[in-house]
Structure 1
Amino acid sequence: MRREDVFVSPQWLAERLGLANRFGLAERLAQPDVVAVDGSWYLPTMLKDGAPRNGRAEYEAGHIQGAVFFDLDAVSDQASDLPHMMPGPVQFSSAMRRLGIADGHTLVVYDGAGLFSAPRVWWMLKSMGARQVFLLDGGLPGWIEAGLPLSDEPVKRAPSHFSARVDASVIADMDSVARALDNGSASVIDARPTPRFEGSVPEPRPGLRAGHMPGARSMPFTDLIEDGRLKSVAALETLFAEKGIDRAAPIITSCGSGVSAVTLALALQLAGARDVRIYDGSWAQWGGAPDKPVATGPA
């Protein structure tokens, strides 16, 4: 996987949305099948102006023109008590239809943090069969930094047809994670911050034990990002080498609830890893399962 296969620049998106640009090419390059997708979602501990951030409220206050809001909590398995688990294809297709996202659309996903929840939405869309899905390099902060406009106008696209087909090969469940930890068939890498991995601070979600899966390794997703963008491939390769992560072997990534695990998986794939799965339930599932072992301290 190459970086240009994943990220597009704010200028690239602006031109294809028909917005003004310094080259005067917007009108000619405007492509109605290109759709911006705001996938902003935040942890309760993420603050803005001293208050918890709210993805939908921020979207309504200012978004990329024509962007639709992808609600991670709503577009999830509503039968599960775990946060934003991958929904089934019928529910996903229905949600995309309501958003006006069709099979042939080119989708560009962004979030208000730069690079936090957007990779999860990107991964969900790809895992459900969307063929042309990209991430906006720098996210909404990068768009604003480029001097491009925001809109607070409501967006209502015409319903479209989306044929969801789940690619189960990119998803790991708790049993497969437990087997990998037991027999070493895959490395399990945790993207949570080091204090949460080591169990020195409580989990932000009530009822979860602190610590990590015995045998898992720590690779905080924040170490992969600089100024709201994923670090260079060379820098990522160095980080993974320093951690002793074998990118040629199968890997399962985990985090708190399957969000930053995708950022870690993406970084691994850009650095050459080919067999990477996401533990969808992540620590929200493992840490809440009384029959699963938990370790504390450094790995």
Structure 2
Amino acid sequence: MSALPALVSVDWLVRHQNDPDVRILDASFYLPNQNRDAHAEYRERHLPGAAFFDVEVIADPASDLPHMLPPPEQFGRQVGELGIDNADRVVVYDANRFLASARAWWMFRAMGHQDVMVLDGGLAAWQAAGQKLESGEVRLPARRFVARFRPELVLDLDRVRAVLEDGSTQVVDVRS
């Protein structure tokens, strides 16, 4: 298990953003009623070196439900295409109060990658600290990422119903 914290500060990321094993991902996502385009906003402004982690694309295409966790092989291929390998420390952030960065953090953990952190305060904290932004797309050379699915981190509907009934697990619903 990794000793990395779940959250890192802007100061930590400023000190480590150029480390060769640090990869930054903008995982912004907006609900349809927000009428915002996360990818377009990413292209306008993002943290230096950040690639775009698209939860609409890195999802199970066989599911009729949106944003479902993809199969491990697909996750590994798509994350590798973002320039990430298994030795990297990944920092995710978003511009929507942790909605999608926390999901991306969980997706990496569910796929066996422990070295993943969320930027505390996201894009807003980065900007409030006076840190620079850049625009355009960041395309890093593809690398090999091998996903190792951890089924204990994913509950299906039957299991959620069971833990709600028996009280064995705390369930948190982040929907508004």
TM-score, length of structure 2 as denominator length: 0.92
Q: Which residue of 2 aligns with 1:130?
A: 113
Q: Which residue of 2 aligns with 1:99?
A: 82
2:31 to 32, 43, 55: 43
The offset of 1:180, in angstroms, is 3.5
What CA distance in whole angstroms lies between the structure 2 residues aligned with 1:92 and 1:174?
Answer: 22
What CA distance in whole angstroms lies between the structure 1 residues aligned with 2:143 and 2:7?
Answer: 25
The offset of 1:161, in angstroms, is 1.1
**Structure 1 residue 54 corresponds to structure 2 residue 32:** no
What CA distance in whole angstroms lies between the structure 2 residues aligned with 1:164 and 1:254?
Answer: 26
> Equivalences for 1:259-278 in 2 at 5 Å?
none
Amino acid at match of 1:252: V
What CA distance in whole angstroms lies between the structure 1 residues aligned with 2:98 and 2:160?
Answer: 26
Q: Which residue of 1 aligns with 2:19?
A: 31
Percentage identity across aligned positions? Answer: 38
What CA distance in whole angstroms lies between the structure 1 residues aligned with 2:99 and 2:162?
Answer: 29
Q: Measured at CA, do residues 255 and 12 of structure 1 come closer, stay the same or move farther in structure 2, by a change above 3 Å?
A: closer
What does the per-residue CA deviation read over 1:55-103, in whole Å, with 9 as the maximum and x for residues that have no partner? 1011000110110100001101100010100111011011011111110
Q: Which residue of 2 aligns with 1:116?
A: 99
The offset of 1:254, in angstroms, is 4.0
Q: Measured at CA, do residues 254 and 166 of structure 1 come closer, stay the same or move farther in structure 2, by a change above 3 Å?
A: farther
What CA distance in whole angstroms lies between the structure 2 residues aligned with 1:114 and 1:176?
Answer: 28
Q: Secondary structure at the match of 1:32?
A: coil
Amino acid at match of 2:166: S
The offset of 1:251, in angstroms, is 2.4
What CA distance in whole angstroms lies between the structure 2 residues aligned with 1:153 and 1:254?
Answer: 34
2:166 to 166, 170, 185: 185
What CA distance in whole angstroms lies between the structure 2 residues aligned with 1:7 and 1:180?
Answer: 27
- From the CA coordinates, give the structure whose radius of gyration is larger: 1
TM-score, length of structure 1 as denominator length: 0.55
Contact 1:75 1:84 in 2 (8 A): yes
What CA distance in whole angstroms lies between the structure 2 residues aligned with 1:69 and 1:137?
Answer: 18
Q: Which residue of 2 aligns with 1:81?
A: 64
What CA distance in whole angstroms lies between the structure 2 residues aligned with 1:101 and 1:75?
Answer: 14
Normalized per residue, the structure richer in strand is: 1
Amino acid at match of 1:251: Q
What CA distance in whole angstroms lies between the structure 1 residues aligned with 2:163 and 2:16?
Answer: 44
What is the root-mean-square deviation in Å for CA atoms of aligned residues? 1.6
Q: Secondary structure at the match of 2:19?
A: coil
Q: Secondary structure at the match of 1:36?
A: strand
What does the per-residue CA deviation read over 1:217-244, in whole Å, with 9 as the maximum and x for residues that have no partner? xxxxxxxxxxxxxxxxxxxxxxxxxxxx
Contact 1:172 1:252 in 2 (8 A): no
Q: Measured at CA, do residues 8 and 179 of structure 1 come closer, stay the same or move farther in structure 2, by a change above 3 Å?
A: closer
**Structure 1 residue 252 corresponds to structure 2 residue 171:** yes
What does the per-residue CA deviation read over 1:141-192, in whole Å, with 9 as the maximum and x for residues that have no partner? 10000000000132111111111011111111112223334xx223xxxxxx
Contact 1:114 1:142 in 2 (8 A): no
What CA distance in whole angstroms lies between the structure 2 residues aligned with 1:142 and 1:84?
Answer: 26
Gaps of 5+ in 2: none
The offset of 1:43, in angstroms, is 0.8
